[in-house]
Amino acid sequence: MLLIAGTRDASAPFDLTAGPSAALLPNARLNVYEGAPHGMFLTHRARANSELLDFIRS
30, β-bridge pairs: 3
CA angle 37, 41, 46 (to 5 degrees): 120
pLDDT tens-digit map of 36-50: 999 999 999 999 999
> What burial class does residue 26 get, using C-beta atoms within 10 Å of its C-beta: 0-12 exposed, 13-18 middle, 19+ buried?
exposed
> What burial class does residue 18 get, using C-beta atoms within 10 Å of its C-beta: 0-12 exposed, 13-18 middle, 19+ buried?
buried
Q: Which pLDDT does position 36 carry in this prediction?
A: 96
> What are the backbone angles phi and psi of residue 7, rounded to the nearest 5°?
-80, -10
pTM equals: 0.85
